[in-house]
């Protein structure tokens, strides 16, 4: 694994974890329970909104660069993003179908949604791997870490603080201990102390196992 700055890995690992959890939730859902059904569909819509925003961030900052310097790679990634947008539209239609389906057809509608999401997840896994194995090495060959970090900074600057908390809820538990510490050290270096404390207690601690939280606390103390 390269020591170079990787703009894709932290968010992709978070999205993979969130998608895996979402697939599990959809697979074991009790679609006959109104409260559970409402909660699961709201969670899925929230997850898809994060995934859609992530594509928009890549389109705005990364695909423009890739398309300019590597047209074939840029075209391939653009095509995959287009397919994702089609999948988002189809998944929303299937969500609505579950919401309006009569009782006798609701389990069938829920299973159709589960299968469609599983297909989207599989395609997304391939897409993210393509970006990490093809686009990231390309970017690292043509741009120094300082420029890649500046691109990442521009993306982060477009995300409201409350929304960033939602991204961190999936990124922090998905990271390795070392990656988790590096991510939170970078946040600590740029955030007011009270904001950082809120991230630790409101996002990181609830998302981690006790051993993971203990290790993170130790690593952050050593890196202070």
| CA distances from residue 122 to 16, 28, 60, 70, 125 in whole angstroms, order as listed | 10, 18, 24, 26, 5
* CATH fold for the domain made of 9-160: 1.20.120
* Element housing 76 (H / E): helix 71-100
Sign of the CA dihedral 27, 29, 30, 34?
negative
Residue 159 DSSP label: S
Radius of gyration, alpha carbons of the chain: 19
Residue 34: the pLDDT is 97
The domain locations on the chain are: 9-160, 175-224
- The low-confidence residues of the chain, meaning pLDDT below 70, are 1-2, 223-224
Residue whose token pair is 């409260």: 35
* pLDDT at site 106: 97
| Angle, CA 38 vertex, CA 199 and CA 46 arms, to 5° | 40
The pTM score is: 0.94
């Amino acid at each position: 694994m390269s020591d170079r700055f990787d703009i894709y890995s932290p968010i992709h690992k978070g999205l993979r974890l969130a998608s895996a959890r979402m697939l599990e939730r959809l697979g074991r859902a009790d679609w006959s329970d109104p409260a559970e059904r409402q909660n699961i569909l709201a969670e899925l819509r929230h997850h898809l909104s994060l995934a859609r925003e992530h594509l928009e961030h890549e389109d705005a900052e990364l695909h423009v660069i890739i398309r300019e310097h590597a047209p074939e790679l840029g075209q391939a990634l653009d095509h995959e993003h287009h397919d994702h947008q089609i999948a988002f539209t189809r998944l929303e239609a299937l969500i609505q179908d579950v919401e309006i389906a009569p009782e006798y057809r609701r389990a069938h509608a829920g299973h159709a949604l589960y299968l469609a999401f599983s297909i989207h997840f599989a395609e997304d896994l391939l897409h993210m791997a393509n970006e990490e194995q093809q686009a990231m090495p390309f970017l690292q060959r043509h741009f120094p870490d300082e420029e890649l970090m500046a691109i990442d900074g521009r993306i982060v600057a477009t995300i409201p603080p409350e929304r960033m908390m939602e991204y961190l809820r999936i990124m922090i538990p998905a990271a390795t201990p070392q990656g988790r510490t590096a991510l939170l050290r970078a946040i600590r270096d740029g955030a007011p102390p009270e904001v950082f404390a809120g991230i630790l207690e409101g996002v990181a601690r609830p998302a981690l196992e006790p051993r993971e939280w203990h290790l993170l606390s130790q690593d952050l103390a050593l890196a202070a």
